[in-house]
Amino acid sequence: MNSSRDQLARQLAEAVAAALVEDLQHQSRVLLVVSGGSTPAAFLRALSTLPLDWTHVDVTLADERWVEESDPASNARLVRETLLQNCAAGARFVGLKTSAGTPEEGVAEASARMCGVPWPASAVVLGMGADGHTASLFADSPELELALATAEPLVAVRSPGRSELRMTLSADYLHRARRHFLHITGEHKRAVLAHAMLGDDVRDKPVRTFLACPLSIYWAP
């Protein structure tokens, strides 16, 4: 176990929980947007143990691979197995995957689901790939321009460098959140983020689209 990463996960969980509690003081439901991958698992587990009124919390994903929830690559599966446990078992999860064969065919139904959750989100917890992507905003995706510009909630994404089809929240909807957190680990990603901070070409390092707004960065070796 990496104790610094575990401590980071706990600190991030406490910050996100505090944001949800604060917003629940003046609205009946709140929204939390989380990311998939390997990095957030410890954070999601830590968050699941924190006591708050989870029955009034909606949870959705920044992006999703177009696979069945039983697939190990499913971000929905990760959320159900890590976050929707313990104190957080009563939260309502709103997934991005539909029964449609492709993200393009499923985008209308998934977008309708997004109309039923309380925007703006109280918090978005983003990750970042080693190439500088975040959510499923990839530099080599033909849909990147659309995902950065559209006012629609979701975009079906194809990345030539990856085999999976994906659905992602648009940059506009991710920007709407009241609070943004970036959760990364390892020296390489620290270097990638430092490089991203030195430039402004969002199409080269899509994570840059969130560096211009208030962003709480959580990093551990």
User: Residue 162: inside a domain, yes or no?
Assistant: yes
Per residue in 6-46, pLDDT (tens digit) is 999 999 999 999 999 999 999 999 999 999 999 999 999 99
User: Residue 46: inside a domain, yes or no?
Assistant: yes
How high is the pLDDT of residue 11?
Answer: 98
**Cα-based distances in Å from 73 to 76, 89, 123:** 9, 22, 24
How high is the pLDDT of residue 2?
Answer: 79
User: Residue 135: inside a domain, yes or no?
Assistant: no
Mean pLDDT, range 158-163, rounded to an integer: 82
Q: What is the CATH number of the domain that holds 37?
A: 3.40.50.1360
User: Residue 215: inside a domain, yes or no?
Assistant: yes
Q: How far apart are CA 106 and CA 147, in angstroms?
A: 16
How high is the pLDDT of residue 120?
Answer: 97
Q: How far apart are CA 103 and CA 17, in angstroms?
A: 31
User: Residue 73: inside a domain, yes or no?
Assistant: yes
Q: How far apart are CA 183 and CA 169, in angstroms?
A: 18
**Helix runs in the chain, H state only:** 3-24, 41-48, 75-82, 103-114, 144-149, 171-175, 187-197
Per residue in 88-129, pLDDT (tens digit) is 999 999 999 999 999 999 999 999 999 999 999 999 999 999
| Structural domains in the chain (count) | 1
User: Residue 109: inside a domain, yes or no?
Assistant: yes
Tell me the sheet residues that pair with 184.
219
User: Residue 134: inside a domain, yes or no?
Assistant: no
Helix (H, G, I), strand (E, B) or coil at 48: helix
Q: How confident is the model at residue 1 (pLDDT cuts 50, 70, 90)?
A: low
How high is the pLDDT of residue 62?
Answer: 98
How high is the pLDDT of residue 5?
Answer: 97
User: Residue 133: inside a domain, yes or no?
Assistant: no
* Cβ contact 206:144 at 8 Å: yes
The closest alpha carbon to 116, from 25, 23, 26, 31, belongs to 31
Q: What share of the chain is helix, strand, coil (3-state, %, to 5)?
A: 40, 20, 45
What residue has token string 């406490």?
14
Per residue in 45-99, pLDDT (tens digit) is 999 999 999 999 999 999 999 999 999 999 999 999 999 999 999 999 999 999 9
Residue 60: domain span = 3-128+140-220
- What global pTM score does this model have? 0.97
The phi, psi pair for 195, rounded to 5°, reads -65, -40
How high is the pLDDT of residue 161?
Answer: 81
